[in-house]
């Protein structure tokens, strides 16, 4: 009987543990996400190039709480909730060169564009990128 009582927490832990971990199930976080970019020289797309670049995706922890009395006084009691918001944003950028080629190899250009190299949760503000 004692063995059963000792094994019960272990058995429950195994039964309640998820069998597969997903990207979404990792909790709060901000992560690099790759996607393909195609650059065309004109509307017909006669000259084109492609490259994998990265963006920052995910979510960060934010909070809201009642404002302090000094904030209420300063705002004439209109600012009754204070929020501390954090957003997923790029913390490090890199330039990548994309080779744009025309049919038949008649012409090619190298175009520079920016890609995210690192992400972090930071104070939310208007987009800089």
Instruction: Note whether residue 53 is domain-resident.
Output: yes
Q: Is residue 20 part of a domain?
A: no
63 to 42, 54, 83, 117: CA distances (angstroms): 46, 28, 6, 27
Q: Is residue 109 part of a domain?
A: yes
Tell me whether residue 56 is in a domain: yes
Enclosing domain of residue 93: 29-60+87-120
With respect to residue 128, please indicate whether it lies within any of the assigned structural domains.
Answer: no
Is position 50 within any domain?
yes
Note whether residue 22 is domain-resident: no
Task: Count how many domains the chain has.
Answer: 1
Contact between residue 84 and residue 61 where contact means Cβ atoms under 8 Å apart: no
pLDDT bin (cut points 50, 70, 90) of residue 70 is very high
Q: Residues 100, 110: contact at Cβ < 8 Å?
A: yes
Say what the pTM is.
Answer: 0.61
Q: Tell me: pLDDT of 34 over 70.
A: yes
pLDDT category at 128 given cuts 50, 70, 90 is low
pLDDT digits (tens, 9 = 90+) for 73-122: 999 999 999 988 899 999 999 999 998 888 877 777 888 999 999 999 99
């Amino acid at each position: 009987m004692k063995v059963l009582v000792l094994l019960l927490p272990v058995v429950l832990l195994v039964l309640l543990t998820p069998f597969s971990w997903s990207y979404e199930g990792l909790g709060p976080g901000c992560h690099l996400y790759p996607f393909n970019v195609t650059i065309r020289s004109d509307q017909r797309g006669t000259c084109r190039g492609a490259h994998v670049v990265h963006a920052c995706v995910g979510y960060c922890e934010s909070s809201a709480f009642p404002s302090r009395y000094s904030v209420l006084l300063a705002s004439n009691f209109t600012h009754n909730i204070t929020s501390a918001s954090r957003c997923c944003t790029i913390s490090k950028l890199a330039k990548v060169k994309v080779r744009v080629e025309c049919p038949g190899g008649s012409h090619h250009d190298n175009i520079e564009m920016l890609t995210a190299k690192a992400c972090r949760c930071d104070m939310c503000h208007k987009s800089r990128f």
